[in-house]
């Protein structure tokens, strides 16, 4: 393929066609400080051998969770991944798993996605799930758009205890839509129900609450559901899928749409992605779901077969009638989650969740007993909790890092009023010896 540079006349014609006066106007949504000033500083080419040596040297400077004890969380967690997950997901039949445009020709991939949907429904207590979305934040945005079309309302109420990335991504989605995002405080680590009830009105399409939330605390989803439903709104619940092995499912607690980050289900941290967005809902909202939904039936010979039952994206002919512009699915990540859930089973997932709770509470008790440390919130928590320190966040975290321990995430990066706090996540991987090492490092910081 040959590429040619556009002439000034062609550029002007293009801008005129799309209704923009200049290139600067076209990219006006990008802050000036983030735009390239001048030309790219691209060095001269080097040989393959030289570039491989350079990449190896750069990679050697990284320290992964195999070399550090990881207590970091805030949305990405160091859970144990059975070797079975890597073994099956790396098979050639699945390695490039993607829903092809002639999907029914790939029965194996469709069956894998169908099993994924089934297990997500069982996990969340919902009637239907899709396959699949990119990650939690954009899945929440898609859920909000679902709620808007279902209720024909233009307001969404979001708890301040959800992951801070979520309202930012949501705002990017709705910036050109007549949708108002209203924030509700969570002063004591959980959503203030009185403030929530005051914020919800007849124009509210959905209430968005996360449990366990960004601070690690467990929310009263049943109360949030009651407040939403009394006003004719929907409850969008964001959950940790591992917590569903121990806590009541969001479906039991009254959620209408459930969203989750699938990373804990057999997906490595991988420097932040690719991850997996889970989205499930009650049956009456099935036709408003984004992405793809795989169904099971019988072919002309009576053999069990799988097909794309619903395809809501605009490329699949629907165009302006499409319910979403999601253009792909995380097929390989969904496969990993399917293998993980099938391998663990209900009892295995419950055991993982139980170990997370026990180890996290042991760590919290030990840390809270140290001079200069205390738990910031009193609400019940699952595997993550927020610690306040008087010793200086930077000094504490840097000291632990020098001891080979990633002690936690500075919460003040998102919440200024919590500048003296950091969150600690304890998964089933952390041993008592590792937790004791963390406590000792904090004590000597």
Range with the poorest average pLDDT among 8-12, 110-114, 157-161, 200-204: 8-12
Q: How far apart are CA 332 and CA 273, in angstroms?
A: 12
CATH number of 69-81+346-443: 3.90.1150.10
Question: In this structure, are residues 214 and 236 in contact, taking their beta carbons and an 8 Å threshold?
Answer: no
Q: How far apart are CA 136 and CA 260, in angstroms?
A: 5
Mean pLDDT of the chain: 91
Question: In this structure, are residues 236 and 289 in contact, taking their beta carbons and an 8 Å threshold?
Answer: no
Q: What is the pLDDT of residues 120-166, one digit of tens each?
A: 999 999 999 998 899 999 999 999 999 999 999 999 999 999 999 99
Element of type H or E holding 159: strand 155-159
pTM of the model: 0.87
Share of the chain above pLDDT 70, in %: 94
Question: In this structure, are residues 333 and 344 in contact, taking their beta carbons and an 8 Å threshold?
Answer: no
Q: How far apart are CA 243 and CA 253, in angstroms?
A: 14
Domain boundaries, given as residue ranges, for the chain: 69-81+346-443, 83-340
Q: How far apart are CA 339 and CA 326, in angstroms?
A: 24
Query: Residue-wise over 196-216: b if at least 16 C-beta within 10 A, else e?
Result: bbebbeeebbbbbbbbbbbbb
Q: How sure is the predictor about 119, in pLDDT bands with cuts at 50, 70 and 90? A: very high
Write the DSSP assignment of 426-438 as a string of letters.
Answer: --TT--HHHHHHH
Q: What is the pLDDT of residues 41-51, one digit of tens each?
A: 888 888 999 99
Question: In this structure, are residues 207 and 234 in contact, taking their beta carbons and an 8 Å threshold?
Answer: yes
- Classify domain 83-340 at the CATH class level: alpha beta
Note the pLDDT of residue 109. 82
Q: How sure is the predictor about 1, in pLDDT bands with cuts at 50, 70 and 90? A: very low
Q: Which of 83, 123, 342, 113 is nearest to 242 (CA)?
A: 123
């Amino acid at each position: 393929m040959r590429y040619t540079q556009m002439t000034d006349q062609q550029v002007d014609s293009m801008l005129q066609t799309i209704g923009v006066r200049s290139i600067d106007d076209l990219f006006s949504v990008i802050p000036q400080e983030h735009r390239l000033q001048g030309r790219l500083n691209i060095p001269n080419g080097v040989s393959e051998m030289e570039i491989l040596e350079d990449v190896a040297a750069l990679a050697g400077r990284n320290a992964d969770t195999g070399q550090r004890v990881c207590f970091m969380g805030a949305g990405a967690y160091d859970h144990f991944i059975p070797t079975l997950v890597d073994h099956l997901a790396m098979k050639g039949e699945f390695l490039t798993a993607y829903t092809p445009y002639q999907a029914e020709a790939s029965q194996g991939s469709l069956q894998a996605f169908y099993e994924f949907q089934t297990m997500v429904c069982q996990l969340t207590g919902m009637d239907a799930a899709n396959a699949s979305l990119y990650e939690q934040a954009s899945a929440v945005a898609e859920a909000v758009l679902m709620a808007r079309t279902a209720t024909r309302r233009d307001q969404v109420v979001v708890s301040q205890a959800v992951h801070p990335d979520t309202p930012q991504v949501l705002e990017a989605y709705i910036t050109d839509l007549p949708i108002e995002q209203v924030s509700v405080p969570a002063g004591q680590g959980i959503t203030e129900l009185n403030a929530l009830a005051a914020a919800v009105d007849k124009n509210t399409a959905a209430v968005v609450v996360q449990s366990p939330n960004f601070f690690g605390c467990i929310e009263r989803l049943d109360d949030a559901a009651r407040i939403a439903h009394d006003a004719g709104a929907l409850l969008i619940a964001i959950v940790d899928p591992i917590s569903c092995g121990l806590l009541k499912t969001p479906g039991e607690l009254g959620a209408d749409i459930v969203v989750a980050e699938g990373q804990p289900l057999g997906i490595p941290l991988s420097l932040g992605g690719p991850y997996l967005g889970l989205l499930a809902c009650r049956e009456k909202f099935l036709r408003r779901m984004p992405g793809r939904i795989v169904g099971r039936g019988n072919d002309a010979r009576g053999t069990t077969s799988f097909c794309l039952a619903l395809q809501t994206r605009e490329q699949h002919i629907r165009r302006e009638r499409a319910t979403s512009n999601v253009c792909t699915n995380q097929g390989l990540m969904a496969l990993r989650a399917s293998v993980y859930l099938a391998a663990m089973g209900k009892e295995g997932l419950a055991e993982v969740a139980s170990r997370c709770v026990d180890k996290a509470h042991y760590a919290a008790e030990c840390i809270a007993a140290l001079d200069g440390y205390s738990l910031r919130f009193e609400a019940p928590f699952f595997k993550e909790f927020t610690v306040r320190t008087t010793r200086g966040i930077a000094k504490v975290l840097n000291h632990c890092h020098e001891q080979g321990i990633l002690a936690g995430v500075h919460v003040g990066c998102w919440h200024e009023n919590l500048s003296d706090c950091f969150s600690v996540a304890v998964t089933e991987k952390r041993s008592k010896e590792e937790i004791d090492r963390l406590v000792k490092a904090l004590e000597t910081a």
